[in-house]
Amino acid sequence: MTRLTLNGNAISLDVDPDMPLLWALRDTLEMTGTKFGCGMALCGACTVLLDGAPIRSCQTKVKDVAGRKVTTIEGVAGKVAEAVQQAWVRLDVPQCGYCQSGQVLAATALLTEKPAPTDDEIEAALSGNLCRCATYHRIRSAVHEAARALGG
Ligand code: FES
């Protein structure tokens, strides 16, 4: 049994501790907002936050998050996350949408850390989140818009 905090709730996961966190989220907990992309930590579709920092859940074992705080797209909350999601909607960022839960979480972590990131800082922070629809320009604009809305 692995105990952790998921989206603010204390839970116990009765799965193989070596199971990838992504499988536990999607298959055991039926939380499918976190996507399976490459399975090799190369594309960022499976991004979740671990104690507020973006990680690749496909290459993170359940035992590695024991006692820690995991946040997924289903539970990300607070003023930064709200500003990000509002900017995403206003600028109509997603195309197919597959990468976008990871993009939103990575952007939320960035703006929590750096309230007014430069283009280079946005690029560096989100470079591990690939978008096959190439929405990068809108993602960058939405991060700036969320930063402005937050007063950064
Ligand atoms: Fe399609 Fe990013 S919106 S992969």
Of all protein residues, the one whose alpha carbon is nearest to atom 1 of ligand 1 is: 96
Q: Do the domains 2-71 and 79-149 sit in the same CATH topology, yes or no?
A: no
- At residue 67, φ and ψ (nearest 5 deg) are 75, 5
We find that the CATH architecture of domain 79-149 is Orthogonal Bundle (1.10)
| Every domain of the chain and the residues it spans | 2-71, 79-149
Asked if residues 150 and 80 have their Cβ atoms less than 8 Å apart, the reply is yes
Q: What is the pLDDT of residues 126-150, one digit of tens each?
A: 999 999 999 999 999 999 999 999 9
Residue 144 is which amino acid?
A: H
Atom of ligand 1 nearest to the CA of 103: 2
Model confidence pTM above 0.75: yes
Of all protein residues, the one whose alpha carbon is nearest to atom 2 of ligand 1 is: 131
Distance, CA of 7 to CA of 76 (rounded, Å): 7
Distance 21 CA to ligand 1 centre (A): 22
Question: Is the predicted pLDDT of residue 59 greater than 90, yes or no?
Answer: yes
Distance, CA of 87 to CA of 13 (rounded, Å): 34
Question: Is the predicted pLDDT of residue 152 greater than 80, yes or no?
Answer: no
We find that the CATH architecture of domain 2-71 is Roll (3.10)
Distance 1 CA to ligand 1 centre (A): 35
